[in-house]
Structure 1
């Protein structure tokens, strides 16, 4: 290991020994922050069965509405064609 690396390690170890309480507090805060961040990101990506069911119902309702609009347009086209042939 280089001389500067050993010097840094020695200085860092002295700092940690002198400020052990602060190092413990900082490490605890970092661990809490990371665990909350991971928990929130995980809880956002996973959904409950009720949410899945609601999403499926919403999608099905949208499909039904779009099919109803298509049927109405086709009925209007059929009426126009019947009027044109008469």
Structure 2
């Protein structure tokens, strides 16, 4: 939610933010361990990647799909990190 806020959700209506937070169709939440969740926090892919490299492709694709679907901005460093993950697919 924090990353979405910084990427454009701050300009959304309350209804749109609620839709984003509760949307079960668009993959934006993945069940992970508590320690992994704490490690990631609100970091984008430039600052955090899953420790299991075998899921980098799925993670990057889901991240891009959510950003695209909701019209959220993509910072240069974030884009570079995502491209590196996708290049390894």
Same fold (TM over 0.5): no
The structure whose Rg is larger is: 1
The TM-score, its normalising length taken from structure 1, stands at 0.26
Structure number with the higher helix fraction is 1
More RCO (CA 8 Å, sep 6+): 2
